[in-house]
Amino acid sequence: MYLKEEQVRDFFKTVDDNFQHAEVRIERVNKHLSRSSENFKSVNETKAVFNWGCDDPLEIERWCNSFKFRGEYYYYSVPKLTDLTERIGLEAILYKYLPTYNKSIGVWKYEKKTQPK
């Protein structure tokens, strides 16, 4: 999320060009949140900026078809609300149930396996 789309693409291409097998996990935000990094206190305090957001995990497969999407974890989708509110605060309850937010930030997992020739 802190890299620009071109940098994320270059990263996947570099891994693809240099490794036969790889597992990559990326922390990402959706496009909506990528336009609002100033609303995140922890991000604001470091003067960081969200530069890239993605809504579709298969987009990365389209960039680099040797990588396959293998899993996802979303921060606002944890099963126990108490875990969520302890980490984020009461507003997290709303985020869990609003479609714009419930899958807005999390980790996507990709795997590359080259078939033997």
Phi, psi of 74 (to 5 degrees): -115, 130
Tell me if the pTM is above 0.75: yes
Predicted confidence band of residue 1 (pLDDT cuts 50, 70, 90): confident
Assign 40 to helix, strand or coil.
Answer: coil
Q: What is the mean pLDDT of residues 38-45?
A: 71
How many C-beta atoms lie closer than 10 Å to residue 3's C-beta? 15
pLDDT reading at 84 higher than 70: no
Residue 116 per-residue DSSP state = P
Burial-class residue 101 by CB neighbours within 10 Å (0-12, 13-18, 19+): buried
